[in-house]
Amino acid sequence: RNLPEVAQVIEVHVRHIVCYKRTDRCDQCILFLAATSRMSRPQPTDITERPMIMYFLPILAPAILLVVAATVHLRRDLAPRTAALAAEGATLLALAVALGSFAVLVDAGPGDGPLAGVAGVGVSTRLDVVSVTMLLLVAFIGWVVTRYARTYLEGEARQTTFTIRLLGTLAAVMTLVQAGNVILFVFAWVATSMCLHNLLLFYPGRIAAQRAARKKFLTARAGDAALILAAVLLTVAYGTTQITDIL
């Protein structure tokens, strides 16, 4: 029904273009094509894109725990109680970061942090409902466990060693739940498994602990191999390591 009108519009465009190509083109053609080119350009929007760096906030939670664990490890002259208090304070800061990540999710919605690395290998975060919920859960339970261990292990000769291992385990789990690429996810998975193995053998002389650690080690290595194979297959199939692109 609108075919004649469409044909007429096309004819006008062609006539103006042919006229514009001539050396004696008229001013009407110049104005017409200039207006058409402006309309074809993408117009700027009033909505300002939010920087991706805000989605990198959750990674501060495990980073804080690792910094405190390294400091306690290097400062062996610290009293065990002081080291335990520092660990409890670190978990509280990690919980605050988790709450801040929740606020970012509510305000800006889900998104990915920038990749700190090359060729898809490095540190990147994924901020969504699942990752923030798990981060809040791990941070809160980590604070509870750290606080309980501070009082329960008071007077224990190797309390500082347990504190360092506990912080390392919590940092690995926090990295796992917010990993934005499969490489970081696999690394955090293996690190979590190894840290839990060290916690199981905190009392290495106990036969029950040795038996449990041996069984866990065998099954965990099988799981690690399966996960690495799955990560390789996904990367090859989709051509990317980013979990968001794969999903």
d(CA 27, CA 192): 72
Work out the number of other CB atoms within 10 angstroms of the CB of residue 4.
8
The pLDDT tens digits for 5-32 are: 555 555 555 565 555 555 555 555 555 5
pLDDT in tens, the chain (247 residues): 545 555 555 555 556 555 555 555 555 555 555 555 544 444 444 434 455 778 888 999 999 999 999 999 998 788 889 999 999 999 999 999 999 999 999 988 888 888 887 877 888 888 999 999 999 999 999 999 999 999 888 888 889 999 999 999 999 999 999 998 999 999 999 999 999 988 888 888 888 888 888 888 888 889 999 999 999 999 899 988 888 888 8
Closest CA to 53 of 114, 109, 96: 114
| CB 94 within 8 Å of CB 62 | yes
What pLDDT shows up at residue 9? Answer: 55
Neighbours of 42 (CB within 10 A): 5
Token match 């053998």: residue? 201
pLDDT score recorded for residue 175 = 94
Dihedral (C-alpha) 207, 208, 209, 215: value to the nearest 10 degrees? 110
Q: Which two tokens stand for residue 162?
A: 């347990």
Residue 41, amino acid: R
User: How far is Cα 80 from Cα 87, in angstroms, rounded to an integer?
Assistant: 10
Rounded Cα gap, residues 64 and 168, in angstroms: 11
